[in-house]
Amino acid sequence: MSKPAALLQAWSVHKTYLLGRVEVPVLRGASLGVQRGEFVVIQGASGSGKSTLLHILGALDLPEKGTVTFDGRNLFAGSPAARERYRNRDVGFVFQFYHLLPELNVLENVLVPRLTGQSFWSWQVARGGVRRETEAMLERIGLADRAKHRPAELSGGERQRVAIARALINRPTVLLADEPTGNLDAVIGGEILDLLVELNRAGQTIVMVTHDAGVAARAHRRVVLKGGVIQEG
């Protein structure tokens, strides 16, 4: 069912959690292929393992069985350094709960992925360009005037925009978004969705988790996670 040529590919991924002494299998051989430029939505009931799968796709967590390949490379066979580069350059992750750094202002939160991997000196050289780029990014998500604000001073929708900007600042090949509209009201959620659709039109590959059918309708393709496996919708 999955084409080997896919850009990002989950191969029969298994993941089990321990609840007390009881093993709870969450993923039981989930496979999913994402093509370049695609907008894939993963749907499923609450607790079905959507976040778990997305984390594994982003190399934020380790599957027990099965693996993930990106551009033909096995994420979990390579070195930790290779995974770090993957997280930093190849994917951008948007969390349901934003996960912004509270000490940093909006601008800084967005450019942090740029900071990692820079040496002290190379940063001195790059900082001007990165700053302009970051400002342009904030412009694009409509938060240019909030650059100096702390996350705590922003609304939920604004925080999620910042999180998206942060995920995109390194121009990742794939954007992974875990219920980016889950905590937002319909209007704000709709705006976030518009933003993602627009990004996708500009060529951004997106994998998004949601259980909102209306949202799912706007994607190229929707799959459903059920019983630990992916069922093409």
Question: Does 62 help bind ligand ADP (rule: CB under 6 A)?
Answer: no
Pick out residues in 51-80 that bind Mg ion (CB under 5 A). 51
For the CB of residue 154, give the shortest distance to ligand ADP in the complex, in Å.
Answer: 24
Amino acid identity of 223?
Answer: V
Token couple for 84: 């770090």
β-strand 65-70 against 73-74: which pairing, if any? Answer: antiparallel
Question: Does 44 help bind ligand ADP (rule: CB under 6 A)?
Answer: yes
The dihedral sign for the CA sequence 197, 198, 202, 207:
negative
In whole angstroms, what is the distance from residue 162 CA to residue 18 CA?
34
Q: Specify the residue, 8 or 209, whose C-beta has the smaller distance to ligand ADP.
A: 209
Question: Does 52 help bind ligand ADP (rule: CB under 6 A)?
Answer: yes
205 Ramachandran zone, left/alpha/beta (phi>0; psi -120 to 50)? beta
x/- site string to other proteins, residues 50 to 79, per CB under 8 A? -----x--x-xxx-----------------
For the CB of residue 113, give the shortest distance to other proteins in the complex, in Å.
Answer: 5
Question: Does 17 help bind other proteins (rule: CB under 8 A)?
Answer: no
In whole angstroms, what is the distance from residue 197 CA to residue 97 CA?
21
List helix spans (H) across 28-177.
50-57, 80-85, 106-115, 120-140, 156-168
Pick out residues in 110-169 that bind Mg ion (CB under 5 A). none
Token couple for 73: 């490379």
- Contact residues for other proteins, defined by CB under 8 A: 55, 58, 60-62, 80-81, 84-89, 93, 95, 99-101, 103-104, 108, 112-113, 115-120, 122-123, 166
- Contact residues for ligand ADP, defined by CB under 6 A: 17, 19, 26, 44, 46-52
